[in-house]
Amino acid sequence: MDKFIIEGGRRLEGRVDIKGAKNSALPILASTLLVEDEFRIENIPMVRDIVTMKKVLETLGVSVSFDGNSVYIDTRGAVGYEAPYELVKQMRASYYVLGPLLSRLGRARVSLPGGCAIGSRPVDLHIKGMRSLGAQVSVVHGYIEVCADSLRGSHVLLEGANGPSVGATINTMMASLRARGVTIIEGAAMEPEVVDVANFLKRCGANIQGEGTRKIEIRGVQKLSGCKYRIIPDRIEAGTFAVAAAITKGDIYLSNVECDCIESILTKLRETGVIISKDKWGLRIRMDGDIMPTDIETAPYPGFPTDMQAQFTSLLALSNGVSIVKDAIFEERFMHVPELVRMGANLHQESDYVIIKGVPYLSGAQVMASDLRASAALVLAGLAAQGTTEISRIYHIDRGYESIEERFQSLGAEIWRLKE
């Protein structure tokens, strides 16, 4: 496995282009299974999860080829109905093929998902969505099996104990496109990635209304077709690079950013003392003074995203005061905390929140990444720390950030990858 070596303490300056949203790209790639046609999807991030989804589609009989950050997909001809464990265990988002296969073939068999180890993320809401459309669903030998002679529109509430489910909203939306009648999803996720998927499906001929609200209405259609589409920018990547500017007392311009999608992140950055200026091409993120403390509680969109909690924990570890970061969405998303403590952070975890007492500096240390966003948090801490930081198990960060070390190098960071 590869590892990162970081010589910290360098002020980051320059410009970085934000890549396409991984959490839009994955379901959009899966949704091409709905149609026997050709597609060209642009602004695809070249990350490990995209490669895994490519393998899933190819296993199902789809032709997939890349041209830079664009992908050409040909779904014409017969496709399979089973996504095997060997692939799905690598990435939870593989289950996005469930809805499209059910819609197109009337059946699907998909292994229970894998992905980051950040607590229980049950598939019960996905099953509820499929059943609401008239599908028979069973879990057998570690696989979800769904089948239906025909699908019919219905009314379904998809809000769970921890709020709306992005995955279940998208999967149910995809499965319902050809169902007879009208499907209404109540308690739908409002995330920009859900809106992006809906816009893609509408480009293919779907009749969808209400995306971006808690209520989405889908009217079944007889015909869908292929199309050309461009993925939205990745708001979590934008937030990560913005925190990099703050934690290194740097000055970074972010291009290819949709500012409205990251307002909750920008609000918290301003509270820490970051200076933010916007223009029609992007954002300038600059930190000149001390990092100020602030309290954060994650929430479904438009609230503060759980995917940015770990990065802000690293930032606030260097603040001039005491902060509290609460994440009730994923109960085990604090696995970066003991690693940051190894670097000198003063953190105390209690259940679903962490008390952060800022320290003057962090010290480089040997640390281990546990999941995608924890990896980003450790890289950020290493960039700001005194001395050398060695981060192992960085395959996690490769799942969601394209060429992350090269892009930080372009900003002045001393970071490089070593093969182990």
Residue 124 reports pLDDT greater than 50: yes
Q: How confident is the model at residue 17 (pLDDT cuts 50, 70, 90)?
A: very high
Would the pLDDT of 249 be above 90?
yes
Cα separation, 82 vs 145, whole angstroms: 9
Model pLDDT for residues 127-150, shown as the tens digit of each residue: 999 999 999 999 888 889 999 999
Confidence of residue 331 (pLDDT cuts 50, 70, 90): low
Query: Same domain, yes or no, for 7 and 100?
Result: no
Tokens of 96: 């996005």
What confidence score (pLDDT) does residue 95 get? 87
In this prediction, residues 292-302 reach a mean pLDDT of 96
> Mean pLDDT for the chain?
94
Closest of 189, 169, 187, 173 to residue 221, by C-alpha: 173
Q: Which two tokens stand for residue 226?
A: 């292929």
What's the pLDDT band for 270 if we cut at 50, 70, 90? very high
The domain in which residue 105 lies consists of: 22-230
Q: Which residue has the tokens 């709905």?
A: 34
pLDDT at site 114: 54
**405 and 325 within one domain:** yes
Same domain? For 204 and 273 the reply is no
Q: Based on the domain organization, do 220 and 100 belong to the same domain?
A: yes
Whether 301 and 408 map to the same domain: the answer is yes
Q: Reply yes or no on whether the pLDDT at 167 is more than 60.
A: yes
Mean pLDDT of the region 67-93: 91
Domain boundary among 193, 212, 230: 230
Integer Cα distance of 412 and 10 in angstroms: 7
Same domain, 379 and 406: yes
DSSP 62-127: -EEEEETTEEEEE--S----EE-HHHHTT-GGGGGGHHHHHHHHSEEEEEPP----SS---SHHHH
What pLDDT sits at residue 122?
65
Q: Across residues 189-214, what is the average pLDDT?
A: 98
* 206 and 330 housed in the same domain: no
Q: Are residues 59 and 171 in the same domain?
A: yes
> Under a CB-based contact definition with an 8 Å cutoff, are residues 64 and 48 in contact?
no
Distances, alpha carbon 279 to alpha carbons 12, 16, 223, 243, 257, in Å: 21, 15, 41, 19, 10
Tell me which of 176, 206, 230 is where a domain ends. Answer: 230
Tally of structural domains, the chain: 2
- Comparing CA positions, the residue from 180, 171, 176 lying closest to residue 124 is 171
Longest CA–CA separation in the chain, Å: 64
Banded pLDDT at 264 (limits 50, 70, 90): very high
d(CA 326, CA 402): 28
pTM of the model: 0.95
Catalytic residue status for 204? no
Pair 166, 305 in one domain: no
Domain identity same for 362 and 287: yes
Is there a single domain that holds both residue 154 and residue 182?
yes
For residue 381, give the amino acid letter.
A
Average pLDDT over every residue of 358-365: 98
Please determine, for residue 118, whether its predicted confidence score (pLDDT) is greater than 80. Answer: no
**Domain termination residue (choose one: 230, 260, 291):** 230
Domain with residue 356: its CATH number is 3.65.10.10
By CB atoms closer than 10 A (0-12, 13-18, 19+), residue 98 is buried
> Taking a C-beta distance cutoff of 8 angstroms, is the pair 242, 309 a contact?
no
* Range 13-31 average pLDDT: 98
- Please identify which residue in the block is written with the tokens 């790209």: 25
Same domain, 91 and 131: yes
Catalytic residue among 116, 204, 227, 261: 116
